[in-house]
Amino acid sequence: MNVPRQRRARDVVATIGPKEELSPVVATANTRGSISLSRSLSGSFCHKFGVSGLGMAFLRAPPRSGFIVHYSIFSILSQAFKGQTGWTPVWREPEPKPAYDAIVVGGGGHGLATAYYLAKNHGLTNVAVVEKGWIGSGNVGRNTTIIRSNYREHGNIPFYEKSLQLWEGLEQDINYNAMVSQRGVLNLFHSDAQRDAAARRGNAMRLNGVDAELLDRDGVRAIVPNLDFDNARFPISGGLLQRRGGTVRHDAVAWGYARAADQRGVDILQNCEVTGIRIDNGRVTGVETARGFIGAKKVGLACAGNSSRVAAMAGLRLPIESHVLQAFVTEGIKPLVPNVVTFGAGHFYISQSDKGGLVFGGSLDGYNSYAQRGNLPAVEEVMEEAVAVMPSAGRLRVLRSWGGIMDMSMDGSPIIDKTPVAGLYLNCGWCYGGFKATPASGFCFAHTMANDEPHELNAPYRLDRFATGNLLDEAGTGAQPNLH
């Protein structure tokens, strides 16, 4: 029985093996991003210090008063000579105007990206982002920084691939170093059945023009030699690798989008919690906030774990539960994990930050929570998975752990759509995959808000798909959010 199964698996390796050329779509995507260009100059030096902006260092006249510094190697060098005393705040702290054309509720990655693309792609600059705390204080600063587009379902692959392509050009686009690092995402598998599933997913990706490589055991060993390949229970038999996946400096995404949106005239209003949504004759007219009423023709909600609370202000009940997900980082060590590795026999993912700490996480705690912290049983499970796949990790000390509140949808896929209230738009249900989606989410949500209809990429992410039966259940676990 074993022999034909292995032969079949090997055939699949040949189909999507590492030696095969990438499909043209991927090649285009790769060459379009000037990141790969700057990387070919070699080393992260260019990347970090903005050599890619060479020859473009100048003071650009903004749409408002004042000057905006274009970040480049020259701005870095000139600051070095000034003792770093000339840096100015990268976004304004304006007072709220009485009214805006559009308000985005939620100053996280998705909200700020939405505001940026509203201004850049749709010419809507009379826009505010309202945030109850400080921008980036939620999940955009609490995730494990992974980007990838290795999905299987039709509705998901094009959306997440768009997101990855936007990541590839993001730093040039917003003139901000987000440390986008395409170090690869490697999903391990431990059995023939898992190999078949990985091959199927890889083929689905390739058919959509996304890069995927099926590695055998030796292929994995060549990349990450320190895994427990001969684990008695879960020996590693190979992995599905997406080389264009990787990690991004998560806080910089919030700050970079905030700066870029601010430069285009968007008002970022912090400490401005929304306490009510005003609706007249079925149409939204503005939001009540901690800083008073602010009128708006359109309001977009990008509130992640607080989506149900905010949507309830407009009388909506959502197919969402809020759950807590924990993440961890160890003390800094020399390079050990070259890319993102995921354990296939549980739910565990690990990468190494540029500071040297191993950043990792696992599954949800499994119960509803708004607490932004979890419990010890989930910690224990994640640690067990860590040492099961990488025994050497047991020698490390964990520096910090934290929790974020996930907006878990009923099918594991997000919602970007209009709502029954005219002028009110909804962006939620990111489960624990929201970070990688940030650029495409902002891109699609801005399109949906500006045109009052979804972009084709977020057309599958309808709010009413639960009632109509058009679910997008990547994991196939049904309406039980703690299983997604």
Partner 1 sequence: MRILCPYCGQRSNAEFSYLGDAAPVRPRDVRRATGESATGNAALREFSDYVYLRTNPPGLLREWWQHTGGCRAWLVVERNVTTHQIGAVVGARDGAGGTREMSR
Question: Of 14 and 312, which CB lies nearer to partner 1 in the complex structure?
Answer: 312
Question: Of 171 and 365, which CB lies nearer to partner 1 in the complex structure?
Answer: 365
- Three-state DSSP state, 295: strand
Q: How far is CA 202 from the centre of its chain?
A: 20
Whose CA is closest to 62, among 261, 252, 269, 253? Answer: 261
Question: Of 36 and 482, which CB lies nearer to partner 1 in the complex structure?
Answer: 482
Residues whose CB falls within 8 Å of the CB of residue 313, separated by 6 or more in sequence, listed in order: 274, 275, 276, 277
The two tokens of residue 285 are 């007219």
CB of 311 to partner 1, least distance (A): 9
CB of 317 to partner 1, least distance (A): 5
CB of 406 to partner 1, least distance (A): 12
Beta strands in 369-414 (DSSP E): 398-409
Question: Of 28 and 470, which CB lies nearer to partner 1 in the complex structure?
Answer: 470
Indicate the DSSP class of residue 395.
G
Question: Of 17 and 346, which CB lies nearer to partner 1 in the complex structure?
Answer: 346
Whose CA is closest to 57, among 80, 45, 75? Answer: 75
CB of 279 to partner 1, least distance (A): 19
Question: Of 391 and 476, which CB lies nearer to partner 1 in the complex structure?
Answer: 476
Q: How far apart are CA 160 and CA 165, in angstroms?
A: 9
CB of 368 to partner 1, least distance (A): 5
The two tokens of residue 19 are 């030696």
CB of 373 to partner 1, least distance (A): 8
Give the number of other Cβ atoms within 10 Å of residue 262's Cβ.
25
CB of 276 to partner 1, least distance (A): 16
The two tokens of residue 180 are 């986008």
Question: Of 290 and 312, which CB lies nearer to partner 1 in the complex structure?
Answer: 312
Positions that interact with partner 1 (CB under 8 A):
308-309, 312, 317-322, 366-371, 375-377, 380, 410, 466-467, 479-482
CB of 481 to partner 1, least distance (A): 8
Whose CA is closest to 457, among 154, 25, 116? Answer: 154
Question: Of 179 and 303, which CB lies nearer to partner 1 in the complex structure?
Answer: 303
Beta strands in 12-149 (DSSP E): 59-60, 68-69, 99-105, 127-130, 146-147
Question: Of 157 and 314, which CB lies nearer to partner 1 in the complex structure?
Answer: 314
The two tokens of residue 320 are 């969402």
The dihedrals phi and psi of 160, each to the nearest 5 degrees, come to: -70, -25
CB of 430 to partner 1, least distance (A): 15
Sheet of 213-216: strand order equals 213-216, 238-242, 185-189, 340-343, 348-352, 357-368, 320-332, 398-409
Indicate the DSSP class of residue 94.
P
